[in-house]
Structure 1
C-alpha cells in the first residue's frame, strides 16, 4: 500500500469538512479523470510516458462523526483509492490518500498530485469565506436566542426552508437523526433544525458545528446537548438552511 499525507493549517476546519462532505466537490478537483458517469469516475495514471494504468472507480463517501470524511474509490478488480479528510481541532485538517492494488508503482506516483488538487480546492473555497466574520460569529453560542420566538422568526425569514417531515423517534434516536440531516445538507454552512411535538428542540449549526441548542420538555427549559438523548415521540421537523453566516446577525440583535 502507498500512502501520502498533507496538513492544511486553517482555523476554519469545520468549513473544510462541510466542503469535503459534498462528493461533487471532491470529484471536480481530482486529477487524472478521463470520464465521469454518476458516481463512477474513470482515472488514468501514467509514468515515464510509456506505462499507464486505467480503471473505472465507484466513489463511495462515508462520514465518521462530525470531523472525518472518507471516500473509497474501488474498481471491479478490487483496486482501491482511499481519501480521508480529518479535522485536527483548531489547527486545521489532515489530508491522506492511499492506494492498494495492481500497478502500485504507477498509481502511487500520482497520489501526491491528488493531495495537491484537493488542497487547492479547499483553499479556493476558503478564499470565498470572510475569515474575520467566520472567527467572530463562529466563536459565539446562540442557545439563549433559540429560546426566543422573536429570534426564531427573524432567523426563519432570512433562511430557506429545505425540508419538513413528520417522524416518530425513540429515546436515544434524536442525535443520529440530526446527524443524518447535517450530512444531507452539508453543502450549506448554516443549518437550523426545529422539532415540535410533546417536547421541542431547536438546533443551530454553523459549518457542521453546533452553535445553539434549546430544549423544552415537561415545561422545563434546557440548553444541554445530552438532554437530546432523553427525547422521544412524534415530531414535526423543519429544516432551514442558509448560505452565509451573516444570517446570524439577526440573532445578534436579540442578544
Structure 2
C-alpha cells in the first residue's frame, strides 16, 4: 500500500466543490487516463513494456467531501479531496503495480494543484470582468475614470463596422496599463482594456443594454469616440 497527501492551493470551498463535481477535471489530472463509460483506461510504462489497465470508477460527493475509487481485480486507487477551511487531497493505492502507481500518484497530486489553481484564476478573472462590465453602466464610475485619466484620442466617425474602428485605434496606441474607450451618438458603448486584455464592456443600442463583446458588431451609425489612458490602481480602487 502507498499513499500521498497534499494541501490544495486555494481555500474557496465552494469553488473546490464545484471543480470536483465536474469529473472531467479529475480525469485530466490522471496521466494517460481515458474515460470510457463508467471506466477509465490507464497506460502503465514499465521500462520497455507497456500495459493498459481498465478500472471501474465510483464517485462520492457530499458537502465537505469528494472521493473517487478506481477499481479492478488487482488494483485499487482512491482519490479523496477534503473540503474544509484548508482543503487537501489524499491518494491511496493498493495492488500489484506499486512502482508504476507511485509515479502516477505524484503526477495526480501535481496536476490537481496546478489545474485547480489555474481554473480558479480564470474564475476570478471572469468575476472581475463581469464586475467591471456592470460598473461601466454606472455614470459616476465612468466619470471618476475620466477624471483620473489622460485623453489620448477624440474623433467623430460614421461606421458600419465599429469593431474594425476599435481595432485600428488599439493598434495605433502604445501599450498602456488601462485603456478606457467610450462612444456616444447613435448608441453608447464603453470598453476597458487592462494590460492589453479586454476586461469589460457596456452597450446601449436601440434601447437595449448588453454586456457582451459579440453585440459590438451590431453597432452602426455616427459616434464620437474618446480614448483615455489610466493607471491600474485608479480603476481597481473603484471596483468596491
TM-score, normalising length from structure 2?
0.48
Which structure is richer in relative contact order (CA contacts within 8 A, separation 6 or more)?
A: 1
If you compute each CA radius of gyration, which structure gives the higher value, 1 or 2? 2
